[in-house]
């Protein structure tokens, strides 16, 4: 997700997020989808589903802030996909990518952040709502999560992925999150955490380079993302997270992501 030009009383994302408006344009190749900044999140979401016993088959899935659409590529073919993003050109590209993969009926739409609460896709309910690396951008995460709770079916679940242990806080993040804060946000929003995991030590020591948006350090970050993303994509979630435990012990790295599943309290 990206930004709005001004802050609403209950905004869906912070105002100063302009960097993300066009960041996915023209980046739909296999190599781009394999970049670790995408695949690390997708692999963690898939691991969370497995550990929570959550099957996505035949489900209505809303990805709020779907970015480049990488998660959609790993959803079962009989799941029904919905999503919102800000950049119309990116929405069109992700829609075309899914059509090429045989998914003709994905309902992907642009969203105006100033009017996010009245978006048409929030007038229905979903079996699964995914918000991957969205909450850390929100000045009012509880208000947002309450709105998402209202979009769940009675047995539906909200899946959240957020960054942890930022050694240098990303300038676009307005929340520094930890387990206690995540549980507090969910409780205040009327949600009950069913499964919580912390994982992914791979970027802990590299994390500061990902806070830079240009120059040689930014180029280095892109190289790191590809160098990690290729083996992660090829190995898959199980092997990758098994390796991550070994890497964490050797490198003394902390987990860089948390993932949680919750339902209505």
Spell out the domains of the chain, with CATH numbers in brackets.
18-264 (3.40.50.150)
- Nearest CA among 145, 154, 104 for reference residue 125: 154
| Per-residue b or e along 146-173, where b marks 16 or more CB atoms closer than 10 Å to that residue's CB | ebbbebbeeebbbbbbbbbbbeeebebb
The pLDDT score that the predictor gives to residue 23 is 67
Mean pLDDT split into 10-residue runs, the chain, 265 residues: 36 52 74 95 96 96 96 96 95 95 94 92 97 95 97 97 96 94 97 97 95 89 95 94 96 98 96
Residue 232 · residue 40 · CB < 8 Å: yes
The pLDDT score that the predictor gives to residue 260 is 98
C-alpha–C-alpha distance, residues 155 and 237, integer Å: 26
Prediction pTM value: 0.91
Residue 265 · residue 183 · CB < 8 Å: no
The pLDDT score that the predictor gives to residue 32 is 93
Sheet harboring 60-64: ordered strands across?
Answer: 107-110, 80-85, 60-64, 126-132, 152-163, 257-264, 191-199
User: Can you list the alpha helix ranges (DSSP code H) found in 236-263?
Assistant: 237-251
Query: In whole angstroms, how far apart are CA 112 and each of 119, 124, 148, 184, 205?
Result: 8, 18, 17, 28, 36
Residue 190, phi-psi category: left (phi > 0), alpha (psi -120 to 50), beta (remainder): left
First vs last Cα of the chain: how many Å apart? Answer: 27
The pLDDT score that the predictor gives to residue 214 is 84
Helix (H) or strand (E) holding 199: strand 191-199
* The pairing of beta strand 257-264 with beta strand 126-132: unpaired
Q: How many CB atoms lie within 10 A of CB 45?
A: 24
DSSP character at residue 137: G
C-alpha–C-alpha distance, residues 217 and 142, integer Å: 34
The pLDDT score that the predictor gives to residue 139 is 94
C-alpha–C-alpha distance, residues 135 and 259, integer Å: 12
């Amino acid at each position: 997700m990206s930004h709005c030009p001004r802050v609403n009383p209950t905004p869906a994302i912070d105002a100063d997020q302009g960097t993300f408006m066009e960041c996915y344009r023209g980046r739909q190749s296999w190599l781009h989808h394999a970049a670790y900044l995408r695949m690390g999140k997708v692999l963690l979401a898939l691991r969370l589903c497995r550990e929570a016993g959550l099957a996505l088959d035949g489900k209505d899935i809303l990805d709020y802030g779907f970015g480049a659409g990488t998660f959609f590529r790993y959803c079962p073919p009989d799941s029904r996909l919905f999503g919102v993003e800000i950049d119309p050109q990116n929405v069109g590209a992700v829609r075309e990518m899914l059509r090429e993969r045989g998914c003709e009926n994905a309902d992907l739409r642009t969203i105006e952040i100033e009017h996010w609460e009245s978006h048409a896709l929030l007038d229905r309910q979903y079996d699964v709502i995914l918000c991957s690396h969205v909450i850390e951008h929100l000045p009012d995460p509880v208000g947002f999560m309450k709105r998402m709770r209202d979009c769940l079916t009675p047995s539906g679940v909200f899946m959240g992925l957020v960054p942890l242990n930022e050694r240098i806080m990303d300038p676009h993040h307005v929340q520094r999150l930890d387990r206690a804060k995540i549980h507090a946000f969910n409780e205040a929003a009327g949600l009950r955490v069913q499964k919580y995991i912390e994982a992914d030590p791979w970027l802990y020591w590299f994390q500061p380079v990902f806070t830079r948006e240009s120059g040689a350090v930014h180029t280095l970050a892109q190289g790191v993302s590809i160098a990690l993303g290729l083996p992660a994509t090829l190995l898959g979630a199980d092997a990758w997270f098994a390796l991550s435990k070994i890497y964490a012990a050797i490198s003394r790295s902390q987990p860089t992501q948390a993932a949680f599943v919750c339902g209505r309290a």
